[in-house]
A and B are shown apart, each in its own frame.
Chain A
């Protein structure tokens, strides 16, 4: 398509975006099912519904750029390029996992792809990203570092200190607040004192922007400008993505704090994958059959990932103390 595409991406690029979003969705829907069967140890927090954010932001990054994720990190990992087989095995706690099965869902890390780690400590990614951004600034390699937090963790002191530090040092850092409306079960409307994340950014002297997190193109455009700004020495910024999760805070969450039809409505009216699919097919840039073909390939990939993860051995007892400490 090239410049003929009425979108900011050509056909090949749009198919790549769709594949990323579909992979996240299929991965999460499958983990939801497999967790219910009892085969997955620990907790899982699913990202389904928020795919446009991960895909729209990560599209602008290379493996040299660093991200720090959250407890809800599967989508960030996939969009950043972490191997899906390795992720699934990690979630199953198997030796073939990306962290040799010792991290699980909340600690998936893969430095080769720039994924510094999902993180069970809320708000802990923000200072890590300041470090990564400072390193990029010193090296002068035009790298950027992005921290993800939810609306809940945005209130953590670590996050606020990081906003200050990033501004003072003019770091190539971007702070993404994925506002899915709930800090676990507490509505953001009850828990955020200044009422606006953009106001919060302004308070620290950095630009803030709020975007429709259900619309890939809205996230893509805003993230593109934030990344460009950071790469060119323009300093940090904050992005709020207004989004919604299809599942509970964790698997097993009864979600009594949500309205009866809230999730159904989200899936019907604000499914980011349906929204982008309709746009690109209506414009005649991509045929529905091409999207269906990707769906099949992704489904087969996830089937295979689960099958291999289930069959893989757990870490050997002798490896209990390996990969735990780092020598300097």
Chain B
């Protein structure tokens, strides 16, 4: 039977330098597997029969397989059939990209993602119009939900079994497209693109403010963490607003206004605000910083020089997510889990 849900569980999110700097949490591999087990249990409860999952060599696959074997030995039958995709494992972001390509080919109706902003970005870059149900297991989680996986599994299961419609369960999202040298390299960001003057990606995470120069966000929520919280605390933009925001950042000395924001979990930093500007869908923006690095969703990813040309464009209706809160409210209203 065709799998209706794909699961991508990143075994290595939440491992970066922020554990040293800000006491950021690190979710153990065994707990990532437990999340998958809870997802599977609630998916099965609403009729999901087949699920496929990205294989990994970081331990999640092993723990999940052990867990399913134990449940089977114990006589439990509450889980869907789970298959791991047949694909080479490189233990890099390539695994996520390859897995999502395969899930698209298999025709899954939704993809559940365990990871941080970076993992979700990788999935969104390849999932086409298939909705993502995001669960936060990373460090800087401006994008995915902090939510009990059982509920995410329920909402996703109700959608893929057509008990909830696309309108009932899904939400449309913005993204930022980053083009380097007229499309020679293309990247995306789901929440923010930060431009720094660092000519190295180093430990990747952003935590020093002295090299920040520009911040482009799809949305910035006052209750968010990470770079987008800068926008969220000075001029909030919601996930559903049509526009995004550009914030130009300077040192405290050169700016009339400063802002204290949680730029990483456990890290409040002060930045100078030079300028704020709405960014509109479809319009290209070129950073004023001529050389440095581009951070996507909080992690430095691309080093660029004066010879490189960078364009940043906000895209509307770029991809879909499962809106768990809305989906479950609809499920309750329609009495989908009630038996007479």
Report which A residues bind B (CB closer than 8 A): 6-8, 189, 194-196, 198-199, 201-203, 207-211, 215, 217-218, 220-222, 225-226, 229, 237, 240, 279, 282-283
Q: Whole-angstrom distance between the alpha carbons of A83 and B202 in the complex? A: 29
**SS of B interface (majority):** loop
B15-55 at interface with A (beta carbon < 8 Å): 15-17, 19-21, 23, 26, 28-30
Kindly provide the distance from the CB of A52 to the nearest chain B CB, expressed in whole angstroms. 11
- A284 CB to nearest B CB, Å: 8
Give CA–CA (A136, B21) in the complex, Å.
22
Q: What is the CA–CA distance of A208 and B19 in the complex, to the nearest angstrom?
A: 6
For residue B240, CB closer than 8 A to chain A, the reply is: no
B303 at the interface (CB under 8 A from A): yes
* Complex: chain B residue closest to A3, CB-CB: B210
**B17 lies within 8 A of A209 (CB):** yes
Contact call A198/B201, Cβ cutoff below 8 A: no
Most buried by B among A7, A210, A240: A210
Given A6-B291, A209-B15, A210-B16, is A199 in contact with B201 using a C-beta cutoff of 8 Å? no
Q: Is the CB of B26 within 8 A of A221?
A: no
Flag if B202 contacts A215 (CB, 8 Å).
yes
> Shortest beta-carbon distance, A178 to chain B, in Å?
16
Residues of B within 8 A of A (CB): 11-12, 15-17, 19-21, 23, 26, 28-30, 57-59, 62, 197-204, 291-292, 303, 305
B200/A196 in contact, CB under 8 A: no
Please give 19 more A-B residue pairs, beta carbons under 8 A apart, in addition to A6-B291, A194-B30, A229-B20: A6-B198, A6-B200, A6-B292, A7-B199, A195-B29, A195-B58, A196-B15, A199-B26, A208-B19, A209-B16, A209-B17, A209-B19, A210-B16, A217-B202, A225-B20, A240-B15, A279-B200, A282-B303, A283-B305
Residues from chain B with Cβ under 8 Å of A210 in the complex = 12, 15-16
The 4 closest A-B pairs by CB, nearest first: A195-B59, A6-B199, A217-B202, A221-B203
Complex Cα distance A195/B28, Å?
9
Interchain nearest-CB distance for A210 vs B (Å):
4
Q: Is the CB–CB distance between A220 and B202 below 8 Å?
A: yes
- The answer to whether A283 touches B291 (Cβ under 8 A) is yes
Give Cα A79–Cα B28 distance, bound, in whole angstroms: 33
A209-B20 contact given A198-B26, A279-B303, CB 8 Å threshold = yes
Tell me whether B17 and A221 are in contact (CB under 8 A).
yes
Residues on the B chain within 8 Å of A222, using CB = 17, 20, 203
Q: Which of B11, B200, B201, B292 has the most chain A CB atoms inside 10 A of its CB?
A: B200
Tell me whether B202 and A199 are in contact (CB under 8 A): no
**Nearest chain-B residue to A239 (Cβ)?**
B20
Also in contact, A218 and B203, with CB within 8 A (given A211-B17, A226-B20): yes
Contact residues in B for A199 (Cβ distance below 8 Å): 26, 28-30
What B residues does A207 contact at CB under 8 A? Answer: 19-20, 23
Determine how close the nearest CB of chain B comes to the CB of A92; give it in whole angstroms: 38
Residues of B within 8 A of A208 (CB): 15, 19, 26
Partner of A189, one of B15, B57, B198, B305: B57
Contacts of B20 in A (CB 8 A): 207, 209, 222, 225-226, 229, 237
Interchain nearest-CB distance for B92 vs A (Å): 10
Inter-chain contacts of A283 with B (CB < 8 A) = 199, 291, 305
Given contacts A6-B197, A221-B203, contact A195 B11 (CB under 8 A): yes
Given contacts A6-B292, A207-B19, contact A194 B202 (CB under 8 A): no
In Å, the complex CA distance between A226 and B20 comes to 6
B29 with A211: CB separation less than 8 A: no
Contact partners of B17 in chain A: CB under 8 A: 209, 211, 221-222, 225
25 contacts between A and B (CB under 8 A): A6-B199, A7-B198, A8-B202, A189-B57, A194-B29, A198-B19, A198-B26, A199-B29, A203-B28, A208-B15, A208-B19, A209-B17, A211-B203, A215-B202, A217-B200, A221-B17, A225-B17, A225-B20, A226-B20, A229-B20, A240-B15, A279-B200, A279-B303, A283-B199, A283-B291
A225 near B199 with CB under 8 A, answer: no
Closest to A193 in B: B59
Q: How far is the CB of B155 from chain A (nearest CB, A)?
A: 29
What are the residues of chain A within 8 A of B202 when measuring CB–CB?
A: 8, 215, 217-218, 220-221
B62 nearest in chain A by CB position: A195
Bound-state CA distance A7–B197 (Å) is: 9
Q: Name the residue on A nearest B19 (C-beta).
A: A207
Task: Give the distance to chain B from A183, nearest Cβ to Cβ, in Å.
Answer: 15
Given contacts A202-B28, A211-B17, A279-B199, contact A218 B204 (CB under 8 A): yes
Which one of B58, B198, B203 lies within 8 Å of A196 (CB-CB)? B58
Chain A residues closer than 8 Å to B59, beta-carbon distance = 194-196
Q: Which residues of B contact A237 (CB under 8 A)?
A: 20
Q: Is the CB of A196 within 8 A of B204?
A: no
Q: Which residue of B lies closest to A228 (CB)?
A: B20
In the assembly, what is the distance between CA of A229 and CA of B57, in Å? Answer: 31
Q: Bound state CA distance, A220 and B204, in angstroms?
A: 12
For A220, the chain B residues whose CB sits under 8 A away are 202
CB distance from B203 to the nearest CB of A (A): 4
Find out whether the CB atom of A196 lies under 8 angstroms from the CB atom of B197: no
A202 CA to B14 CA, complexed, in Å: 12
Q: Once bound together, how far apart are the Cα atoms of A229 and B202, in whole Å?
A: 19
Find the residue from A8, A195, A282 having the highest chain B CB count within 10 A: A195
Most buried by B among A196, A211, A215, A222: A196
Complex Cα spacing A58 to B58, Å: 29
Select the residue from A221, A226, A279 with max chain B CB neighbours within 10 A.
Answer: A221
A199–B28 CA distance with the chains assembled, in angstroms: 5
Closest CB of chain A to B321's CB: distance in Å?
A: 28
Minimum CB–CB distance from A223 to chain B (whole Å) comes to 10
Q: Do B204 and A198 touch across chains, with their CB atoms under 8 A apart?
A: no
Output the least CB separation between B33 and chain A (Å).
10
Shortest distance from the beta carbon of B101 to any chain A beta carbon, whole Å: 22
Residues in chain A near residue B29, CB distance under 8 A: 194-196, 199
Q: Report the minimum CB–CB distance from B194 to chain A (whole Å).
A: 15
* Chain B residues with CB under 8 A of A196: 11-12, 15, 28-29, 58-59
